[in-house]
Amino acid sequence: MEWIDLGFGLFSDFANPKKRLFFGYLGLSILIAMIWLIIFRKTPLRESLARIFDRKVFFSGSAIADYKVFLINRLFTGFISPLLLTQVGIATAIYMALVRSDLTWWGIYSDASKTLVVALFSLAMFLADDFTKYLVHRWMHKWPILWSIHKVHHSAETLTPMTVYRIHPLEGILYASRSAVAQGSVISVFYYLFGDQVDLYTVVGVNVLVFMFHVSGSNLRHSHIDIRYPKWVEHVLISPAQHQLHHSVAEEHFDKNYGAALALWDWLFGSLYVSEGQHDMKFGLLASERQSATELSTLYFAPLREIYQRLKRNSVRSVRFVSKALREK
């Protein structure tokens, strides 16, 4: 029974509507890909099916590494999750700090319309989560130490829905902490201002806005199906093709399209790149920093070695700087 429970735990994401890999979202992504290829690309049915289920993609060395990393990280998460920050812990700490502060806004809007409060809370949770994803993702490309971790994800040379889970465990910890802080902060502030009026609009237990993101083909962002939106829509929502551009090795695509669901943040902060006219992209890392897309030992340990070497170089420079400053005195 323990082995059965372990197996179910490893693959529970496929049965959980709160996870992107939920079988319902995967099925809808296949349907959307079919509609795109047949209606908009005028591709015959048989050719469309062959394109969607391309064995060269799903059985490539890079994709197989995705599957292995997914399983290993699921095991790791099971051990480490009790030690991580939690949404409830953050929310409780901030709420108690607000209550004990000199602010006089506690429950000031407790008589507001329940419908309005639930709508505002659902929107605030979605926006806070999506904006902090944008920020952390951008930092991971801009800060060398964080890039050492994040390039495990970008080492993928083919994209499948499993590639979203192709991350180093340290990145997983960072994103889990981000989620706890972002959502915990919103929860605490809303409970402080609105009291027990606070609730979410949900579908199958998921924030309705997150649900809409998933049913509209979130899994196609990591895929070889380059679905594009009208140019004006790609200033607000990230299309699958836009995220695929983010994985491109072409220089003009560097540091573009960090957004998860919304392109709005990229538009506001100058990192937006629309997908118009882009075809046949190559994914992975530049030759100058390429690492194996398939070797698990490289994917897990190369970032740690790189971080150690970078910290070592920085510490040596710091010691030299301090020594020079002391001698000049």
Sign of CA dihedral 177, 182, 186, 192: positive
Please identify every stretch of the chain with a pLDDT value under 70, giving residue numbers as ranges: 1-10, 83, 278-279, 316-329
**Alpha-carbon distance 229 to 222, whole Å?**
16
Specify the pLDDT at position 329. 58
Looking up tokens 């004006």, which residue turns up?
A: 232
The answer to whether 230 touches 263, Cβ cutoff 8 Å, is no
**Alpha-carbon distance 291 to 257, whole Å?**
23
Specify the pLDDT at position 63. 96
Specify the pLDDT at position 318. 64
**Alpha-carbon distance 303 to 310, whole Å?**
10
As given in the structure block, the two tokens for residue 63 are: 């994709």
Cα angle value 243/137/313 (rounded, 5°)? 125
Residue 42 dihedral angles phi and psi, to the nearest 5° = 55, 40
The H-assigned helical ranges of the chain are 2-10, 23-35, 45-52, 55-58, 61-80, 87-100, 114-142, 144-154, 169-194, 208-215, 240-246, 264-269, 296-328
Secondary element (H or E) of residue 270: none
**DSSP labels for 102-145?**
S---TTTTTTS-HHHHHHHHHHHHHHHHHHHHHHHHHHHHHSHH
Q: Where in the chain are the domains? A: 2-328
pLDDT in tens, 170-202: 999 999 999 999 999 999 999 999 988 899 999
Secondary element (H or E) of residue 84: none
The DSSP secondary-structure symbol of 39 reads: I
Residue 311 dihedral angles phi and psi, to the nearest 5° = -65, -40
**Alpha-carbon distance 200 to 117, whole Å?**
9
> In 3D, which of 266, 272, 264, 277 has the Cα closest to residue 226?
277
The DSSP secondary-structure symbol of 200 reads: -
Widest distance between CA atoms in the chain: 78
Give the count of beta carbons closer than 10 Å to the beta carbon of residue 55.
Answer: 9
